[in-house]
Amino acid sequence: MVTEARSEPIRAVMICESPFWEHSLEWVIGSRDVEVVARAREIHRAPELVTRYEPDLLLVEANREADPDFLFKRLRQVHRDHHRSLTIVVCAGGADHVRDAALAGGAVRVVDAEDAAEFLDTLDFACAALEHGELDERPLLTRRELEILRFVSRGYTNGQVARALWVTDETVKYHLANVYRKLGVRSRLEAVSWAAENGLTTPVPVNGYRGRSARRTPRAGSGIPTFASRGPS
């Protein structure tokens, strides 16, 4: 949905276990005129702080050793009670289990900790969407659907995905059908294109084809356009 442009400053809550990341992220978001209204070291404080301060942004640093189930539950709690708060998670590259948990929990984007440009792009896009009230609904993908979509984006066949996850081919097909329906796409290639455009992963081109843009009006959830999806486990 689209609302009127806002006039008040963008407010943020930060959850950073590392003092280094706390100071680094605060410096970066301060350059974008984002006001930090509260901060904490532990992710379990997120629901409490979001309830108390009702921020526009929740910025979370999740290290490689983070408990994905705990992260998922806390973010889901935040977005169940405060679905208008946008969450950006910064985590180590390659920590797919943490990335999936964050996306399924409600993060609009999970950014590689080593990619400063990606974080700035994500922050600028989120701020622009908040400032202009351009908030669209996002599809609700489960953690399993996100996992399968990542494998597909890397060029895996259904059989290879099934063997990697210790499930049947039919199970993979069932989940992919749900993914297509939720994303509003009609093919595997369109789903791969959507995953790339929405920051889920950098796909491996399938036979040199990178797909075309998928429909950008998802079915359910909340967030901003072109960002990755969220959903329950």
Helix axes 143-153, 188-197, angle to 10 degrees: 100
**How high is the pLDDT of residue 220?**
35
The three-class DSSP label of residue 62 is strand
**Angle (nearest 5°) at CA 133 between 228 and 7:** 135
**How high is the pLDDT of residue 208?**
36
Quickly count: other Cβ atoms within 10 Å of residue 5's Cβ.
10
- Supply 72's token pair: 């998922």
Single out the residue of 112, 64, 69 nearest to residue 88, CA to CA: 112
Helix axes 19-30, 116-132, angle to 10 degrees: 50
Per-residue pLDDT of the chain (233 residues; tens, 9 = 90+): 444 555 688 999 999 988 888 888 888 888 888 999 999 999 999 999 999 999 999 999 998 888 999 999 999 899 888 777 889 999 887 778 888 888 888 888 888 888 888 888 888 888 888 887 766 556 668 888 888 998 999 999 999 999 999 999 999 998 999 899 888 899 999 999 988 877 665 444 433 333 333 333 333 333 333 233 334 33
**How high is the pLDDT of residue 181?**
87
Contacts of 194 (CB under 8 A, 6+ apart): 183, 185, 211, 213, 214
Alpha-carbon torsion (109, 115, 120, 121), positive or negative:
negative
